[in-house]
Structure 1
Amino acid sequence: MSYTPASASYRPLSSQRLHEGVVQQIVAQIMSGGLVPGASLPSEAALAQQFGVSRTVIREAVRMLVSKGLVVVKHGSGMLVQPSEQWNYLDPLVLFEHLRVSQDKTVLNELLELRRIVEVEVAALAAQRRTAEDMQTLYKFVEQMRTVIGDPRTFTRFDIAFHDAILAIARNRLLAQTLRPANQALYVARLISSQRYSRSEASERGHEEILSALEKGDPQQAREAMHRHIKQFEDDIHTILAPGFSFDVSDLAHELD
């Protein structure tokens, strides 16, 4: 079996986290079709020379590319680009770079659907199982969100903490674990939404509606409040990720380790 040699060229790096810069450029080449499935990457030494980094940096970058399902290392054949069926679309860099290049929202829609199915029913369970101490925790997160509406990253972290707390309050460990593989991709989607549109205030109002339903112990009201909240987020993210969007997911790499 023969392999197509890669013809991509790369820019020297000056970042402190050099391996991330290597990964970002190679991912962009793969997603754009510059490196097709079955193509072989240049040797470790050649990549180190092109990027202007050490071979240790290249090894770490290759390790990350393998973990994303983009590259496989074969003895005697070198580093080969994997078929798209092997790519980890729940990896934020893979998901959003693929979306930027192809405008195919199928995987994004599946991710949002997964979240909606799980979190709507989780809210109903939480309404039935919450304790006074649980409610104090949720009130604390909502209050913290009110104070940082102008700070998208901090708001997003409290937003995630609020939803994670509801998952814990539902007291079903398997449901809580269902969303775990998607956490990083959902984090990036939330952050994109809060940065590009002034959605933090609307999101915060949604949290207060959910909180009110949980306080009343009303499962149906909790379902409806959570559904409205998630639907608003889905509408926002689809509007933001219209053709031509240019959000740089690589800027978030240091937050996703």
Structure 2
Amino acid sequence: MNEQSPQDNKIVRLKLSDQVFERLREMVASGELAPGDVVPSERVLMERFGVGRPAVREALQAMQSKGLITITHGGRSRVNALTAGVAFSQLDDIAKLLLSSEPANIDHLKVIRHILERGTARLAAQKCTAKDAAELLALIDAQRAQLGNAELFMKADIAFHTRLAQITANPLIQAITEMMLTWLFEYHSSLLLWSGREETTLSEHAEIVKYLAANDADATEQALEAHLSRADSRFKVAPS
């Protein structure tokens, strides 16, 4: 049996603002403060928790930085709806730092993309409707309209893959896909090599939609994997 050191048993006193933050977070988690609700005024919170204005303000700023509320200057702050997008956006800065500080992680992210999008393709193929297929084809046309503009072409590419993920009716898959692609393309924005293969991308997207519309999970997954494998070859990291 391992004995705990005296240090392990010490009680850490939280800052007042941290305690107020935890109380506010509990109010949101319990539903006492629901999405769209107005956040109690600073004075009300000061009286309720028995703390000063600085602690309340710092706690509210922390709530906003985590996407839990929106503070409007000159107006009342409101509780945000908790979505997968809000949750994953909290990882954005750290993820970009991780990718830029350790370039090898980009290859790990590509592996995750293959695993995720292949599974997404199979699930989407089972659920794809005529409306879904039509909207994907419209996104391909929108992407074609951006030929010659690398940044907008990449954003249109993200929109296509995100809409494909939306067909799964799984908001976590959609949010993860959008964030993952944003990280990939932003990291490579200055390194992406445009070698006249944009039309190939468009034709591959059309091929994927063809199989989606036919609800053919095997063919959709194969078309998606072939598309990703070719796309990977477009990324080249500058030598260190």
> Taking structure 1 as the reference length, what is the TM-score of the superposition?
0.52
Can you list the C-alpha shifts for 1:10-41, whole angstroms capped at 9, x where unaligned?
A: xxxxxxxxxxxxxxxxxxxxxxxxxxxxxxxx
Amino acid at match of 2:237: L
Does the residue aligned with 1:198 lie in a helix, a strand or coil? coil
Q: Pick from 114, 128, 131: which aligns with 1:130?
A: 128
Distance 1:204 1:241 in 2: 24
Dislocated runs of 4+, deviation >6 Å = none
Can you list the C-alpha shifts for 1:115-160, whole angstroms capped at 9, x where unaligned?
A: 1111111111111101111111101011112222211111111111
Does the residue aligned with 1:230 lie in a helix, a strand or coil? helix
8 A Cα contact 1:152 1:200, kept in partner: no
| Structure 1 counterpart of 2:99 | 95
Q: Does 1:241 align with 2:198?
A: no
| Structure 2 counterpart of 1:161 | 159
Distance 1:120 1:192 in 2: 27
Can you list the C-alpha shifts for 1:192-231, whole angstroms capped at 9, x where unaligned?
A: 5655433322221221111111121100000001101111
> Taking structure 2 as the reference length, what is the TM-score of the superposition?
0.55
Q: Pick from 199, 205, 211: which aligns with 2:203?
A: 205
8 A Cα contact 1:193 1:236, kept in partner: no
Unaligned 5+ runs, structure 2: 1-65, 67-92
8 A Cα contact 2:125 2:220, kept in partner: yes
| Structure 2 counterpart of 1:119 | 117
Cα distance, 1:178 vs. partner? 3.2
Measured on the aligned residues, the alpha-carbon RMSD in Å equals: 2.8
Distance 1:138 1:163 in 2: 9
8 A Cα contact 1:168 1:176, kept in partner: yes
| Structure 2 counterpart of 1:224 | 222
8 A Cα contact 2:208 2:220, kept in partner: yes
Can you list the C-alpha shifts for 1:164-193, whole angstroms capped at 9, x where unaligned?
A: 000000112232233455343123256456
Q: Pick from 169, 188, 202: which aligns with 2:186?
A: 188
| Structure 1 counterpart of 2:140 | 142
Unaligned 5+ runs, structure 1: 1-66, 68-87, 245-257
Q: Select between 216-225 and 196-205 the one with higher mean Cα deviation.
A: 196-205
8 A Cα contact 1:152 1:195, kept in partner: no
Does the residue aligned with 1:156 lie in a helix, a strand or coil? helix
Distance 1:143 1:204 in 2: 9
8 A Cα contact 1:194 1:200, kept in partner: no
| Structure 2 counterpart of 1:31 | none
8 A Cα contact 2:140 2:202, kept in partner: yes
8 A Cα contact 1:90 1:182, kept in partner: no
8 A Cα contact 1:146 1:204, kept in partner: yes
Structure 1 residues 218 and 133: alpha-carbon distance in aligned structure 2, compared to 1, 3 A threshold: same
Structure 1 residues 196 and 142: alpha-carbon distance in aligned structure 2, compared to 1, 3 A threshold: closer
Q: Select between 141-150 and 113-122 the one with higher mean Cα deviation.
A: 141-150
Distance 1:191 1:95 in 2: 13
Structure 1 residues 173 and 180: alpha-carbon distance in aligned structure 2, compared to 1, 3 A threshold: same
| 1:9-28 mapped onto 2 (5 Å cutoff) | none
Distance 1:122 1:189 in 2: 23
| Structure 1 counterpart of 2:168 | 170
Aligned residues: percent identity? 26
Distance 1:132 1:161 in 2: 18
